[in-house]
Amino acid sequence: MRFKINQIFYLSIMLSCSLHLANAQYYPHKNNTDYREHYRGQFHFSPKSEWMNDINGLVYQGGKYHMIYQWGNKIRHGGYATSLDLLHWEDKGVALIPQKSFLPVEAKRNATGDQVYSGSAVVVSGQTAKKITGSDQEAIIAIYTGTTKGTCLAWSNDGGDIWHDYKGNPVGHLTDYAVPRDPCVFWYEPAK
C-alpha cells in the first residue's frame, strides 16, 4: 500500500507542476525597480529591465489599454504592459516568448519563430475570434514577425493574462522572393 501512496503523491506533484506550466502567464521582469533610477525617463513608459524598442500593439479592451512592445537585448520578445489612463503603466513583463529565448525554462515558449519582431494588435470577437482562438469570445490578437518563420499570430481571450501561440502559424510564409515584415492590420468598416 505504501508504494501506491508514493505513486499518488508523485503523480499529484507532477500534475500540479504541469498544470502550472500549461497555464503560464506572462513572465515578469526580475528587476524590482521603483522607476526612480538616475537617467530613467519619467514621462514615457519604460520596462523594468532590459531594452525596449517600438510599440507593436496598442489596443483598448476590458476597460484598460494593452501595449505589446519589442523587448530584449539580444533576442527580441514581446513585452506587455497595461494602463487605465495611458499615463500610468503597469509593466507586466514578457508576454510573447520566442523559441530561442534567453529566459529560464519556466518561461513558457509561446511565440513562433526564433525572435518576435515588429507587428500590431487588434481586438476581435465573433467569427473572427472563433477562427483564431476556437471561441467567439472577445480576444486580443497580436500580429508579429516571427523570425525564420514569417507573419504570425498570438492571442489572449482573458484580458492579457495568458497568451497563446496560434496553431496555424505562420499565416504569412517566407519565400525566396518575399520576407514579410512588420505586419500592420486595421479595421476596414465597409468590408467588415
182 is catalytic: no
Q: Answer yes or no: are the C-beta atoms of 44 and 51 closer than 8 Å.
A: no
Q: What is the pLDDT of residue 2?
A: 52
Q: Which long-range contacts (CB under 8 A, 24 or more apart) does 72-75 make?
A: 72/102, 72/115, 74/102, 75/100, 75/101, 75/102, 75/114, 75/115
Q: pTM value?
A: 0.80
Q: Which CATH number fits domain 40-173: 3.40.50.300, 2.40.50.140, 1.10.1370.30, 2.115.10.20?
A: 2.115.10.20
Which of 9-18, 42-51, 126-135 is the least confident region?
9-18
Question: Which one has a higher pLDDT value, 173 or 34?
Answer: 173
How many Cα neighbours within 13 Å face the side chain of 63? 1
Q: Which of 34, 54, 85, 91 is catalytic?
A: 54
Q: What is the pLDDT of residue 22?
A: 35
Query: Who's near 183: CB < 8 A, 6+ residues apart?
Result: 119, 120, 143, 144, 145, 151, 172
